Structure 1
């Protein structure tokens, strides 16, 4: 059993409202220079949910479920920083008031927090409905592994991931896939990994298929090889990070499925174990 500081963590309210999709220009240019008109971020996405494949959608950076933000810049920064994957979310206004769901990701750039709700609740929601999140998880530590940073995940979900200590003094995490560092793109160089995400680049379809990454689903856990997310995002030989797929594949150069980091270490203290069920939908009971 991993020893943590869960009993010392603070649970605090953060809040946002369902954010209308924004489209400043009609076209999104793909990696071959072709302009496309496509749905993208924001709003309520009725037919895409955590557990679905992140590839194949006729869209760009599609966010499953509900996308929220706060129009006050500083308050939205706190929402994106403190909300953690797996946190309970509660609708507090509108026809679906009282409906409960959970956070599935944090999307940088557009600065949305993404939330899963059951289909019948989505049908009653509207843009501008307010959603409260019980933010819980930032500051989580593994007491026997101080060099491993944990972030962006609800501690109760963290304990469900099936992480094991190994005989050689490391931890082993079930993951759906491993991603090499040369495929990590948009978001590299960000100043912190406690909010937002960064993307797996997918323009080289042959490489993506060869590595089996075209099968990734929203909510999948992935291991990022030689990727350091301790104080920002970048390449470091031997570093290992674990993340969760939070938005869909993209058509834009340098982009692809987004990854919100939940664990990182500058040393090879984290191992991956390929497991077909390594997806938060399975741990949180999504039907």
Structure 2
């Protein structure tokens, strides 16, 4: 078990509601100059959840499960910042009231928190439904690894991820290792305690070599030479671990999004390739 400051962590209530799809314009222009009209962010996505493929969809930045936010801007900032991947979210309205799901990611720009619920719950939800999240995880520090910054990670999830300790390092199971050069939209953010940043997928050679077509919602990935202890920064030898939270994109500089879970400026984090490194397995999620 990886030791952390469990007794010092705070659990607080934050609340959001389903945020429906919105269109400020109909067309999105792809990196090839073609205009597209496609489903995108928001709403309740019934047929794609964590564990499902996020590439090649007839959509742009598709979010799995339920997309939520708080309509009050200040409350929404707290909702997006304090909520962590793996936190429990309870339905507090409507026909599905009392059922529980899990936070699976945070999408910057649109400022959505995504929540996974079983299919029978999704069928009962409406655009008007609200969710109470027991937010816990921000402020986590690892007792034996002070160099590693942890964020956006539920403390119960940490020790379900199959992380091993070897020679003073953490060995984290991941499905893919992503070169720093492929990271795009989201660079320049001043913090990664909310939101995400994107893996660019328009380069055919790297796409094929890395097997990016295999990426799934909920996959745990490593990003090489990127430090995210504050905003994303190129740093040789740095390592970032994150989770895939939304689907691919046709837009230049965009692609599947990564919410950061941990980062280190020195190579204190190692990757172990494992096709089972996905939130659906760690949360024992059944569609």
How far apart are residue 71 of structure 1 and its match?
1.2
- Alpha-carbon distance between aligned partners in 2 of 1:180 and 1:214, rounded to the nearest angstrom: 16
How far apart are residue 206 of structure 1 and its match?
2.7
How far apart are residue 175 of structure 1 and its match?
0.5
2-11 or 49-58, which moves further after superposition? 2-11
Q: Secondary structure at the match of 2:3?
A: coil
How far apart are residue 128 of structure 1 and its match?
2.2
Q: Secondary structure at the match of 1:77?
A: helix
Deviation per residue, 1:133-158 (Å, 9 max, x gap) = 01011111111110100010101011
How far apart are residue 70 of structure 1 and its match?
0.8
- Alpha-carbon distance between aligned partners in 2 of 1:128 and 1:227, rounded to the nearest angstrom: 39
Q: TM-score, normalised by structure 2?
A: 0.98
- Alpha-carbon distance between aligned partners in 2 of 1:17 and 1:128, rounded to the nearest angstrom: 7
- Alpha-carbon distance between aligned partners in 2 of 1:89 and 1:78, rounded to the nearest angstrom: 15
- Alpha-carbon distance between aligned partners in 2 of 1:211 and 1:231, rounded to the nearest angstrom: 27
Question: Which residue of structure 2 lines up, in the alignment, with residue 242 of structure 1?
Answer: 241
Q: Secondary structure at the match of 1:26?
A: coil
In the TM superposition, structure 1's runs of 4+ consecutive aligned residues that sit over 2 Å from their partners are none
Question: Which residue of structure 1 lines up, in the alignment, with residue 55 of structure 2?
Answer: 55
- Alpha-carbon distance between aligned partners in 2 of 1:28 and 1:84, rounded to the nearest angstrom: 30
Deviation per residue, 1:115-170 (Å, 9 max, x gap) = 00011111111112111101011111111110100010101011111111112x11
How far apart are residue 223 of structure 1 and its match?
0.4
**1:115-264 counterparts in 2 under 5 A?**
115-167=115-167, 169-264=168-263
Deviation per residue, 1:87-118 (Å, 9 max, x gap) = 00001011111111000000000000000001
Name stretches of at least 5 consecutive residues in structure 1 with no aligned partner: none
The alignment status of 1:69 with 2:63, answered yes or no, reads no
- Alpha-carbon distance between aligned partners in 2 of 1:90 and 1:83, rounded to the nearest angstrom: 13
Question: Which residue of structure 2 lines up, in the alignment, with residue 44 of structure 1?
Answer: 44
How far apart are residue 7 of structure 1 and its match?
1.9
113-122 or 208-217, which moves further after superposition? 208-217
How far apart are residue 205 of structure 1 and its match?
2.6
Question: Which residue of structure 2 lines up, in the alignment, with residue 26 of structure 1?
Answer: 26
How far apart are residue 18 of structure 1 and its match?
0.3
Q: Secondary structure at the match of 2:121?
A: helix
- Alpha-carbon distance between aligned partners in 2 of 1:253 and 1:128, rounded to the nearest angstrom: 33
- Alpha-carbon distance between aligned partners in 2 of 1:234 and 1:202, rounded to the nearest angstrom: 20
- Alpha-carbon distance between aligned partners in 2 of 1:185 and 1:24, rounded to the nearest angstrom: 23
Deviation per residue, 1:167-224 (Å, 9 max, x gap) = 2x11110000100000000001100010000000011133111111210111110000
Aligned residues: 286
Name stretches of at least 5 consecutive residues in structure 2 with no aligned partner: none
Q: Secondary structure at the match of 2:271?
A: strand
Q: Secondary structure at the match of 1:14?
A: strand
Question: Which residue of structure 1 lines up, in the alignment, with residue 17 of structure 2?
Answer: 17
- Alpha-carbon distance between aligned partners in 2 of 1:14 and 1:90, rounded to the nearest angstrom: 11
Q: Secondary structure at the match of 2:249?
A: coil
